[in-house]
Chain A
Amino acid sequence: MAATKQNGTGKLSANGQNGYKVIGTRPVRPDGVDKVTGRAIYAADVQMTGLLHGFVLRSPHAHAHIRSIDTSKAEALPGVRAVVTAADLPEAEDKVEDLGEGAINLKYLSDNVLANEKVLYHGHAVAAVAATTPHIAEEAAGLIEVDYELLPPVMTVDDALADDAPILLETLRTDSMGEIGAEQTNLASFFRHQRGDLDAGFDSAHLVVDRTYRTETVHQGYIEPHAATASYSADGQIIIWTSTQGSFAVRGQVCEILKIPVSRLKVVPTEIGGGFGGKINVYVEPVAVILSQKAGYEPVKIVMSRADVLAATGPTSGSNIRVKIGVDADGKISAALAELYYEAGAYPGSPVGAAANVSLAPYAIDNLQVDGYDIIVNRPRSAAYRAPGGTNVAFAVESVVDELAEKLGIDPAQFRILNGAKENDRRPDGLQYARIGQIETVEAIRDSEHYQSPLEGNYRGRGIASGYWNNWGGQSSATAVLNPDGTVNLNEASTDIGGTRASIAMQLAEAMDIEYEQVKARVVDTDTVSYNDVTGGSRTTFAPGLAAYNLGRQLLEEMKSRLADQWDVAAADVTYEDGTFSAGSESVPFVEAAGLVQREEPLMASSTVHPQDFGPGFSTQCVDIEVDPDTGKITILRYTIAQDVGKAIHPSYVEGQMQGGVAQGIGWAINEEYIYDDEGHLLNASLLDYRMPTSLDLPMIETILVEVPHPAHPYGVRGVGEVNIVPPAGAVANAVYQATGVRMDKLPISPANLLEAMWAKEAEEAELVPGDD
């Protein structure tokens, strides 16, 4: 049975539960004091003697050939030390590599860093300058003369797939389930997941709902802009300090782009002010290196502006989605079809593959088909964003599910329980679930005080929605040094975004039966431990946590072995209980033992893991809203999340992840979108007009931690960071329907869009009932 915990926000429990001493408590994070006192070093804080400042010149056009670039005037400006363009990068190979962030064509990667022959979006980097001050660098960039031949912009799925669509990438051919097309195209790939008999399932259906949806491009909105500093040593060694989710991913990408061996580059991850998937791709890192090289090996720092961040990094795909679901008279789903058209941005690689798995994952369905299309358009190259692709498709599926439940007269929570996926059911691509907690999250919402409470008042509505995320294991390595005073240095290489230094250290402390405060966790550079995958895929408490658990066990075993030698007993006779080692009449507490066992030889341990059996996460959410009928503006009145968190190692940080994901999901649902003019210019590259929610736009978000322990982790850990962003748009849309009677078929449900939909509904009703009264 699943344990549930209602909203522990802010409460400090003295002890964990279920026999744990450290797990389940809420200690202070190791980086907390430095962060709240302003001492923490973020990427833009890196300073050193002789530092030059870089500035990147960006394309003012969405789609154009570069005829020529004249950098002579910029080079002549006093204070300018180097100017680079794509011509300064090694020629990139047209081949696909996995560099720790999914497979990527190296030519596309390189061309995105500095445009080669063509610019493919407004904001595409074209050239860069290093100068003695940031102002000189910026002024010099303005002196670079780029001769563009303008091409028509291709901004949407429909533009890109039109018969006469302009072609973005001349060598691109459609990969259709491994079959490569012959024609030039903007459709990078197509795939289909299929099982059962779709036609029979729809034919036998009592009721079918078939709808199409549109969602817009949105950005991760991390508050710290990208920044990187590159420095050469006299012996040719390169160091990059950068704000990244994966120091090894940066090393891999930079070394491939610059064609240098990994042994020449050390990447030092700084503290990070948010990433959400957007700080995996490199942007300014390789540019800083070649500027430094060209400037006589002086160090170069590049700090992106907010406008550059929005225009040239991050965003996740806009999409066109069709969902058709049939149900029998009892409300059981008889067939489901989803067609997903995702905009990848300028280069292939939208998250449509992940979206396909998210699409129908919460439901047990025998007859289904999911089609995915990866389509390139003149927008920034899409990057991962928290459960990539999930929010788009869950908005569509959960809207259809809500409509089905309504038409059947079934409570929407009950409909989700009736059709809920459980152990041994399969997700759309066929992967079979181990023990999962989807139904438990729906039950937790159904039984919550929130869902049971009445919602009264005009233009108020309540909606629920569910969501799935796959999570990830990935490769991890860590070392632990036992100090003679009984503390342990934990060296791991996962960027700490959500409190993972604490949650990993807590697992080491639990494994060794020592206090959390005895573990000193730090994030190290790429020269210090072995390969480590990115902080992403909700993997960091799970996989590096597993490595930490192994480290603890190894250290304890070695301590027992050494004590056995000293006590002249068999290692198996040494026990360790309640922080004390004993054998016969001998007994020594841990802290003393730490010194004792290292009198002859120091003690450290290392662990590398690559777990394949990571547990997926499910979340069901409930929202109450109020719509101002005069303005179309939505106020979020109340929000409750129930999420299967496996085991909450540090409940406060789990709650923080849940609340953070929902905050982003609400922004996506009601206001966030990239706005372009007809020529493909991005109009709202600022936080003024790219409207993420502020603290005044959100209520306190309530959390219910549903703990269905993951069987393949010693402490039952599942990833918790991503699934929370999947349901909000669907939940809000369903609440909007209850409040207004309008089913929104597009995101965002902004005041302008909702007002228009309400007017359309009024007009429709006025036409439908003439003469009735």
Chain B
Amino acid sequence: MQAFDFVAPTSVDEAISALAAGGGRARPLSGGTDLIAQLQEGRLALDTVVDLKRIPELMAISISGDGLTLGASVACHSINANQAIRDAYPALIDSTHLIGGTQIQGRASIGGNLCNSSPAADSIPNLIAHSVTCHIAGPNGRRSVAAEDFCTGPGRNVLGTGEFLVALEFPTPPANFGAAYLRFIPRNEMDIAVVGAGSSVVLSDDKSTIQSARVSLGAVAPTPLFVEEAGDALAGQPVSEESLAKAADLAKAAARPISDMRGTIPQRKHLSAVLTQRTLRIAIDRARGTNTVDELGRLNGHG
């Protein structure tokens, strides 16, 4: 690893200046669980690293009737330890529990996971399923984009030079809302998703009909994939295995994976359907208030 300058601004404006001054050779640092590894392995060379963790806005958790605003540098462990988040957004914990072990969770942030923009990131399908809005600051002021529009390619995203992610905004879950994230890995821990799936549903008041749904896939395209058609197909359908199977087929059709050392094209297409169906089942159970933590834990390797 080569030497670099380390800057730790305490305000958003200072951070913008520091990043802008560094041009393409400066990068923001949150938990560093991706960035430092990339620097150590020589996959990335930088002149300046800008630590964002001393900026209050990036470390803030705000939960109210308007929803949840999560500072971009908040560590997974802080999310896991927050009972208000666990109660209101149980599916978010599916991702924050999966990312790394306990020590890594003390550093790794959801914002960092999004900005690293891996197609296989374990939080992004979940953010898409939760209709999250990403708030960005930069030299030209502030702007916002939907989570499904944030990534533009493997390791690439909408952030321009000098821009960084400030916060993630989760809308308040509507009544009868449920969501879930699952990934498939060959082992039960310490792995990158072969395929990941995040789904959410809003059920009718009698919980027999799906009013709306969102389905998202990871590791089956250059970016996390929002499979809008799968959610649309579920809207207005009865809660049934047939409905879920149809959505799963649409997810499989939408997946356009590659074969690499972590999985093959047929395997990933197939798993897109399997995981879509399984996450929808869990999301529905959660919307109905049924406790599925045991099954989720088993499937995610946390049994």
Interface size class of chain B, counting residues whose CB lies under 8 Å from the partner chain? 20 to 34
Question: Which residue in chain B gives the minimum CB-CB distance to A675?
Answer: B261
Known contacts A631-B271, A675-B261, A689-B262; A135/B187 CB under 8 A? no
Contacts of A632 in B (CB 8 A): 267
In chain A, what residue has the closest Cβ to B3?
A135
Q: A639-679 toward B: CB 8 Å interface, digit per residue (1/0)? A: 00000000000000000000000000000001100010000
Tell whether, in the assembled complex, residue B190 and residue A751 are in contact, meaning their CB atoms are under 8 Å apart. no
Contact B187 A688 (CB under 8 A): no
Chain B 217-268 residues near chain A, CB threshold 8 A: 260-264, 266-267
User: Is A696 part of the binding interface, using a Cβ–Cβ cutoff of 8 Å?
Assistant: yes
Cβ B274 vs Cβ A138 within 8 A: no
Please name all residues of chain B whose beta carbon is closer than 8 Å to the beta carbon of A149 when the two chains form the complex.
none
Taking the closest CB of chain B, its distance from the CB of A137, in whole angstroms, is: 12
* B261 and A696 contact, CB distance less than 8 A: no
Residues of A within 8 A of B187 (CB): 671, 691, 693-694, 696-697
CB distance A697 to B188 under 8 Å?
yes
How far does the alpha carbon of A697 sit from the alpha carbon of B266 in the complex, in Å?
25
A139 contacts the other chain (CB 8 A): yes
Least CB distance, B249 to chain A, in whole angstroms:
14
Task: Kindly report which residue of chain A lies nearest to residue B274, judged by CB atoms.
Answer: A630
CA distance A696 to B302 in the complex (A): 8
A691-B188 contact, Cβ under 8 Å, with A138-B1, A751-B267: no
Cβ 8 A contact of B188, one of A675, A683, A694, A752: A694
Task: Please tell me if the beta carbons of A752 and B274 are within 8 angstroms of each other in the complex.
Answer: no
Asked whether, in the complex, the Cβ of B270 is within 8 Å of the Cβ of A671, the reply is no
**B261 touches which one: A684, A687, A694 (CB < 8 A)?**
A684
DSSP majority for the B interface? loop
Contact A691-B191, Cβ < 8 Å, known A135-B1, A138-B1? yes
Smallest CB–CB gap between B283 and chain A, Å?
A: 18
Chain B min CB distance to A54 (Å): 16
Q: Which residues of chain A are near B34, meaning CB under 8 Å?
A: none
Q: Is B177 an interface residue (CB 8 A)?
A: no
In angstroms, how far is the closest chain B Cβ from the Cβ of A221? 13
Please give, as numbers and ranges, the residues of chain A lying within 8 Å of B266 by CB-CB distance.
756, 759
CA distance A756 to B265 in the complex (A): 11
Chain B contacts for A689, CB-based, 8 A: 192, 261-262
B residues in contact with A759, CB < 8 Å: 266
A693: which B residues are within 8 A, CB to CB? 187
Q: Are B301 and A696 in contact (CB under 8 A)?
A: yes
Smallest CB separation, B241 vs chain A (Å): 14
A258–B184 alpha-carbon span in the complex (Å) = 50
Q: Which chain B residues border A688 with CB–CB below 8 Å?
A: 190-192
Mark B37-72 against chain A: 1 for CB-CB distance below 8 A, else 0. Answer: 000011000000000000000000000000000000
A-B contact pairs, 13 of them (CB 8 A): A135-B1, A138-B1, A631-B271, A684-B261, A687-B190, A688-B191, A691-B186, A694-B188, A696-B187, A751-B184, A751-B186, A751-B194, A755-B267
Q: Which residues of A contact B (CB under 8 A)?
A: 135, 138-139, 142, 307, 630-633, 670-671, 675, 683-684, 687-689, 691, 693-694, 696-697, 750-752, 755-756, 759
Residues of B within 8 A of A (CB): 1-3, 41-42, 184, 186-192, 194, 260-264, 266-267, 270-271, 274, 301
Task: Given contacts A691-B186, A694-B187, list 5 more A-B pairs with CB under 8 A.
Answer: A135-B1, A630-B274, A687-B190, A697-B188, A697-B189
